[in-house]
């Protein structure tokens, strides 16, 4: 098991390097340090001395990929690319435009993000799978067809609408929950109820359709016919056979997103005033704070890759056919 995990981790390295290269291209090649200096200093007439001093101040005064002035190995190592890559890989994200430590900010904001992303994830998983099983049980009936149309309708409405309508109904008209805000601990429950309900509801259409198609694929298999022929009840067939065999495709789709829950949801957090990573990112985008956006891009990629590795590992746990090593 350990060697398998190490192998998967090694596979992840080239991908991370690729991600790093893409972020570097985006943030330093397309938009060169000179451009950055110009837009930061703001003024129309910026002298080249001012640009040089700004670059030196930020540590951007090195060549991009190859340092022709340096000797030997330093030709490649003493460059902006190496400098920035090493910083990212050691999770040293530097400082934002407002001179706050980005790494510290991220650590602080993970918990609020998780406090709505995790409940949404778990409740959605349970509701969507149970609803899908219900529809598969009554497949072909009027209930199934009408619910599938309802699912398409739910899918076709913009998330923005659910949020705005939800805030209007639950907070403004019925005064059930506060319209936005956040508090830690039990105090905060009243703030997260509405975002969680909206998050679960807006994903129900696509979710139920997906799980239903997975279960329907299983239900036509031979082993299901055998189980029925043995005289098992339809419910036992569903829960004992279809659900457990459907686990594999479900794992592929579900495990990979678990680490990304830390990233939070962009629009949900900004609408509900939750000080998580999603609203952090949006604020950074609006303020054009590239350092934060760069950090979030890298963090998101790392979390996704961890998700991929977890998916592989969960496979080996759930499917006896998958052998380690190979």
Q: Out of 7, 18, 77, 226, which residue is the one contacting another protein (CB under 8 A)?
A: 18
Q: Which residues in the 176-195 window bind another protein by CB under 8 A?
A: none
Q: How far is the CB of 212 from another protein (least distance, A)?
A: 13
Q: Out of 2, 3, 10, 14, which residue is the one contacting another protein (CB under 8 A)?
A: 14
Should residue 286 be labelled a site residue for another protein when binding is judged by CB under 8 A? yes
Distance CA 26, CA 284 (A): 16
Should residue 146 be labelled a site residue for another protein when binding is judged by CB under 8 A? no
In sequence order, which residues have a C-beta less than 8 Å from that of residue 184 and are 6 or more positions away?
A: 111, 112
Distance CA 238, CA 129 (A): 12
Should residue 158 be labelled a site residue for another protein when binding is judged by CB under 8 A? yes
Should residue 226 be labelled a site residue for another protein when binding is judged by CB under 8 A? no
Q: How far is the CB of 84 from another protein (least distance, A)?
A: 15
Should residue 38 be labelled a site residue for another protein when binding is judged by CB under 8 A? yes
Q: How far is the CB of 15 from another protein (least distance, A)?
A: 5
Q: DSSP per residue over 224-236, as a string?
A: HHHHHHTT--HHH
Main-chain dihedrals φ then ψ at residue 59, nearest 5 degrees: 80, 25
Main-chain dihedrals φ then ψ at residue 95, nearest 5 degrees: -115, 150
Distance CA 191, CA 193 (A): 6
Main-chain dihedrals φ then ψ at residue 296, nearest 5 degrees: -70, -40
Residue 107 burial (10 A CB sphere; 0-12, 13-18, 19+): exposed
Residues of this chain that interact with another protein (CB under 8 A) are 14-15, 18-19, 22-23, 26-27, 30-31, 35, 38-39, 152-153, 155-161, 164, 167-168, 172, 217, 220, 260, 263, 266-267, 281-282, 285-286, 288, 290, 293-294, 296-297, 300-301, 304-305, 308
């Amino acid at each position: 098991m350990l060697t398998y995990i190490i192998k998967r981790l090694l596979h992840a390295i080239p991908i991370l390097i690729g991600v790093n290269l893409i972020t570097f291209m985006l943030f330093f090649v397309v938009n060169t340090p000179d451009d950055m200096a110009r837009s930061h200093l703001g003024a129309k007439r910026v002298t080249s001395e001012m640009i040089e001093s700004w670059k030196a101040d930020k540590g951007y005064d090195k060549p991009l990929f190859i340092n022709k002035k340096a000797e030997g190995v330093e030709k490649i190592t003493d460059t902006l690319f190496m400098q920035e890559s090493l910083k990212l890989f050691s999770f040293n994200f530097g400082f934002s435009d407002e001179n706050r430590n980005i790494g510290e900010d991220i650590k602080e904001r993970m918990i609020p993000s998780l406090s709505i992303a995790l409940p949404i994830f778990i409740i959605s998983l349970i509701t969507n799978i149970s609803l899908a099983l219900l529809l598969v049980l009554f497949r072909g009936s009027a209930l199934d067809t009408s619910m599938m149309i309802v699912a398409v309708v739910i899918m076709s409405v913009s998330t923005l609408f659910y949020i705005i309508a939800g805030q209007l109904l639950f907070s403004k008209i019925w005064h059930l929950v506060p319209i936005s805000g956040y508090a830690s601990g039990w105090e905060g429950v009243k703030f997260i109820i509405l975002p969680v309900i909206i998050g679960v509801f807006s994903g129900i259409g696509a979710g139920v359709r997906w799980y239903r198609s997975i279960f329907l694929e299983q239900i036509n298999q031979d082993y299901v016919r055998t189980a029925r022929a043995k005289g098992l009840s339809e419910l036992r067939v569903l829960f004992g056979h279809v659900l457990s065999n459907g686990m594999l495709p479900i794992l592929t789709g579900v495990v990979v997103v678990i680490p990304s829950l830390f990233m939070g949801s962009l629009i949900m957090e900004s609408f509900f005033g939750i000080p998580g990573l999603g609203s952090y990112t949006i604020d950074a985008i609006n303020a054009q704070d590239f350092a934060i956006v760069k950090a979030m891009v890298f963090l998101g990629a790392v979390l996704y890759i961890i998700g991929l590795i977890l998916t592989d590992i969960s496979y080996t746990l759930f499917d006896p056919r998958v052998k380690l090593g190979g």
